[in-house]
């Protein structure tokens, strides 16, 4: 066997162990007994130690030096293994283990603090997470930007300065549009009580409608919805609230977007470095286009209105147009995952600025809640009423995902570009969506983007699919058109 073949066989086992680690995380968030958390933290740390040793092994370095790629796909495989190897060799093994153990423990501490509305109970743990992630970022940055070094884990090739420039270009139009919308009368909201069993049944139906393959996955409940896994084992979670079925419906569609990306990757890439989504920004482009441009469209909500009344009876709205307006209602709120399309990116900009300050050492964890509340009031015009609607609402910082948040907004930007191309290539898209048929849309996304997995760099795969260099313009034009129509601006 050649050095390339030996390396790929070794990498396959590393990827398989990574999937096992992901499954432990899924179990922890869904069905693990609460009392098992300390043992699970040790298990996660032990497995991370094995993975770090494999990824940083000198044998990998030797193989990389000797390996010759057989083709362009092989070259992409080597590129991704080299990126992983370079990262792993910069991070001490004990630090990797300590982070895995701490972030596993921190999930439960965050969840309990969130339930108790007790920020003080969480801050000491968060301070430890921030310190370890900053230490890791310093090792990776080698004198450069700590935040940019961490960002590479989620959006390779992108810098915080590039993201800040996009956000600076987006903010004025978003704020102006939101101001105009909020001056108009709000449409009528959904009303009634919506049983959990009916919500979960409709959730499963919607997952199938959007192409999720249940023979390769499942839907469970979690505090914070997420998607886990790749290839032929991709699982999602959702959540329910009796007074808000949209929470369940659109969390499900969002996570199905993530899952269908993973299920749609070329099976030849299974358990290879290319067998997963290339970046979180590209991943979010799939979840957001499924959830918003498709799932919240006038055409699809016309079909969904009938399914809602079939499932729940009277929902307090008269007709599909009223339902479409309710689905896209712009109103005051605190929760990022429940935010309308118009205000969602403002939530991300808040988190982006705060976590950059944390990693730079310009903001102390002890001052984080005050900084969050001040910034929220400045951006949204009203105060945070309780911690679970503020600092404690997201799981991300508890598990050390610093650099992840801006990819949500990048995903929206990418989705705007993709939607333009999709509508160009599928001119009768709305006719199909009005029948509850997403087949052409999801097939277009699978053919033009999902199947490539990690073959191309993030912005390259978006440009290939959409035919344009990614920019914020298409998203902003889409939002202007949609909400100007909805609110008769």
* Residue 59 clears pLDDT 90, i.e. is over it: yes
Taking residue 215's Cβ as centre, other Cβ atoms within 10 Å add up to 6
pLDDT band at 218 (very low <50, low <70, confident <90, very high): very high
> pLDDT higher for 3 or 1?
3
Q: What is the mean pLDDT of residues 300-314?
A: 97
- Show which residues are catalytic: 255
What is the pLDDT, as a whole number, of residue 223? 81
Q: Per residue in 101-136, pLDDT tens?
A: 999 999 999 999 999 999 999 999 999 999 999 999
Query: Domains of the chain by range and CATH?
Result: 3-144 (no CATH), 160-486 (1.10.1370.30)
Q: What is the mean pLDDT of residues 81-105?
A: 95
What is the pLDDT, as a whole number, of residue 1? 81
What is the pLDDT, as a whole number, of residue 338? 85
Taking residue 277's Cβ as centre, other Cβ atoms within 10 Å add up to 25
What is the pLDDT, as a whole number, of residue 394? 93
Q: Per residue in 161-214, pLDDT tens?
A: 999 999 999 999 999 999 999 999 999 999 999 999 999 999 999 999 999 999
What is the pLDDT, as a whole number, of residue 222? 86
Percent with pLDDT over 70 in the chain: 100
* Residue 224 clears pLDDT 90, i.e. is over it: no
Angle at 94 between CA 91 and CA 95, to 5 degrees: 50
Q: What is the mean pLDDT of residues 237-264?
A: 95
What is the pLDDT, as a whole number, of residue 337? 84
């Amino acid at each position: 066997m050649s050095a390339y073949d030996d390396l790929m066989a070794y990498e396959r086992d590393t990827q398989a162990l990574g999937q096992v680690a992901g499954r432990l995380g899924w179990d922890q968030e869904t069905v693990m007994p609460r009392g098992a958390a300390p043992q699970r933290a040790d298990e996660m740390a032990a497995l991370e130690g094995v993975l770090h040793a494999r990824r940083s092994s000198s044998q990998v370095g030797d193989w990389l030096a000797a390996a010759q790629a057989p083709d362009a796909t092989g070259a992409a495989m080597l590129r991704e293994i080299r990126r992983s190897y370079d990262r792993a060799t910069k991070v001490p093994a004990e630090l990797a283990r300590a982070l895995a153990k701490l972030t596993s423990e921190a999930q439960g501490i965050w969840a309990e603090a969130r339930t108790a509305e007790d920020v003080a109970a969480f801050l000491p743990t968060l301070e430890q997470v921030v310190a370890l992630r900053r230490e890791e970022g310093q090792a990776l940055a080698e004198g450069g930007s700590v935040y940019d070094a961490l960002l590479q884990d989620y959006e390779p090739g992108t810098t915080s300065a590039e993201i800040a420039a996009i956000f600076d270009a987006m903010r004025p139009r978003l704020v102006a549009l939101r101001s105009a919308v909020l001056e108009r009368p709000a449409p009528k909201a959904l009303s009634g009580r919506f049983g959990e069993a009916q919500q979960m049944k409709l959730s499963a139906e919607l997952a199938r409608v959007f192409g999720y393959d249940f023979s390769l996955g499942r839907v469970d409940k979690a505090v914070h919805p997420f998607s886990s896994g790749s290839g032929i084992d991709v699982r999602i979670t959702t959540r329910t609230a009796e007074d808000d079925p949209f929470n369940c419906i659109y969390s499900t569609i969002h996570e199905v977007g993530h899952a269908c990306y993973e299920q749609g990757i070329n099976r030849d890439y299974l358990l290879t470095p290319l067998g997963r989504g290339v970046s979180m920004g590209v991943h979010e482009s799939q979840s957001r286009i499924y959830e918003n441009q498709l799932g919240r469209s006038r055409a699809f909500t016309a079909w969904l209105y009938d399914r809602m009344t079939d499932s729940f009876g009277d929902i307090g709205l008269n007709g599909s147009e009223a339902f479409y307006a309710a689905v896209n209602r712009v109103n005051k709120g605190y929760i990022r995952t429940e935010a309308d399309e118009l205000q969602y990116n403002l939530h991300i900009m808040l988190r982006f600025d705060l976590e950059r300050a944390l990693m730079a050492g310009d903001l102390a964890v002890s001052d984080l809640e005050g900084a969050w509340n001040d910034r929220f009031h400045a951006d949204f015009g009203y105060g945070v009423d309780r911690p679970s609607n503020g600092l404690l609402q997201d799981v991300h910082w508890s598990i050390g995902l610093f650099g992840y948040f801006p990819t949500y907004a990048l995903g929206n930007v990418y989705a705007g570009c993709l939607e333009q191309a999709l509508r160009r290539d599928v001119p009768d898209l709305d006719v199909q969506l009005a029948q509850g048929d997403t087949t052409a849309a999801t097939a277009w996304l699978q053919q033009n983007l999902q199947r490539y997995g990690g073959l191309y760099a993030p912005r390259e795969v978006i440009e290939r699919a959409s035919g344009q260099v990614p920019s914020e313009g298409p998203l902003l034009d889409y939002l202007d058109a949609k909400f100007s129509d909805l609110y008769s601006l």
